[in-house]
């Protein structure tokens, strides 16, 4: 394959077509799962990265200009980060979605750089591994049982009551992912309020029943976020 690594017309055609093919493969897998970045986005990212790599190589090898090939690739990788960030969203339950798509876009761009630089083997192997990670490993991750998450709203009068509630949650093997102190306006029953975001295998109804009878606690409620 060494003749194809030279900057000939045939080599350019093969690099561009191969980058489109690799972008299509990764993009189709994302499109099949209704992700925000589909195969057209992945094709554009992979093809654009390949063109950038080819251009840098041509400036240095073909025109003999003092161009820094690595700088062009570095700028492409930086730009890919901004593109990937657009596919990341935070849901109402404060969970992050789109990280896999963003990582796939970033990796697809680097695959395009490899193909555009003439390293065809690396680009094809990288594409195969990305597909394996998003399909085979994706199903493996989905089969892993995740601990449920829920939110407790606590109304209390004594400031030390919140510390006792948090200690009780930890003793119950619950992970506290977030704590938010709320303001109460003219509430005759309680002076303070807090939302505790928990992750674990304990039943919310069990926690609520135990917390409600703790000193200083006015009420405890399992709420939907």
Reported as a single tens digit per residue, the pLDDT across 175-214 is: 888 888 887 777 777 888 899 988 888 888 888 899 989 9
pLDDT, tens digit, 9 for 90 and up, residues 148-172:
788 899 999 888 899 999 999 988 8
What size, in residues, is the chain?
Answer: 225
* Same domain assignment for residues 37 and 129: yes
Least confident span in 62-71, 87-96, 149-158, 200-209: 87-96
Q: Among the three residues 95, 122, 143, which one is the final residue of a domain in this structure? A: 143
Question: Hey, what are 60's tokens?
Answer: 């240095």
Domain termination residue (choose one: 115, 143, 171): 143
Which of the listed residues 96, 124, 143 is the one where a domain comes to its end?
143
127 pLDDT more than 90: yes
- The answer on 212 and 196 residing in a single domain is yes
How many domains would you assign to the chain?
A: 2
Location of structure tokens 């303070």:
192
Residues 137 and 153 both lie in one domain: no
The answer on 111 and 47 residing in a single domain is yes
| Spatial separation of the C-alpha atoms in residues 193 and 84, rounded to whole Å | 38
- Is residue 123 located within the same domain as residue 186? no
Give the contacts of 16 (CB within 8 A, at least 6 positions apart).
47, 50, 51
Is the pLDDT assigned to residue 134 strictly greater than 70? yes
**CA geometry: angle 16, 21, 23, nearest 5 deg:** 95
Q: Which domain covers residue 196, as residue numbers? A: 149-223
CATH number at residue 196: 3.30.70.260
């Amino acid at each position: 394959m060494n003749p194809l690594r030279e900057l000939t017309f045939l080599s350019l055609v093969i690099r561009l077509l191969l980058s489109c093919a690799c972008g299509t493969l990764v993009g189709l897998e994302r499109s099949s799962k209704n992700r925000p970045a589909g195969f057209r986005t992945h094709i554009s990212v992979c093809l654009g990265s390949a063109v950038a790599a080819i251009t840098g190589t041509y400036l240095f090898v073909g025109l003999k200009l003092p161009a820094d090939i690595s700088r062009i690739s570095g700028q492409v990788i930086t730009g890919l980060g901004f593109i990937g960030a657009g596919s990341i969203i935070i849901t109402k339950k404060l969970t992050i979605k789109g990280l896999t798509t963003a990582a796939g876009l970033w990796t697809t761009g680097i695959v395009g750089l490899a193909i555009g630089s003439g390293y065809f083997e690396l680009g094809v192997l990288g594409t195969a591994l990305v597909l394996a990670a998003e399909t085979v490993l994706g199903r493996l991750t989905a089969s892993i049982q995740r601990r449920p998450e829920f939110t407790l709203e606590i109304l209390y009068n004594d400031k030390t009551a919140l510390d006792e509630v948090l200690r009780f949650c930890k003793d119950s093997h619950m992970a506290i992912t977030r704590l938010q102190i709320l303001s109460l306006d003219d509430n005759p029953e309680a002076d303070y309020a807090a939302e505790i975001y928990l992750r674990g295998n304990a039943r919310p109804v069990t926690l609520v029943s135990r917390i409600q009878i703790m000193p200083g606690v006015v009420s405890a409620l399992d709420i939907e976020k």
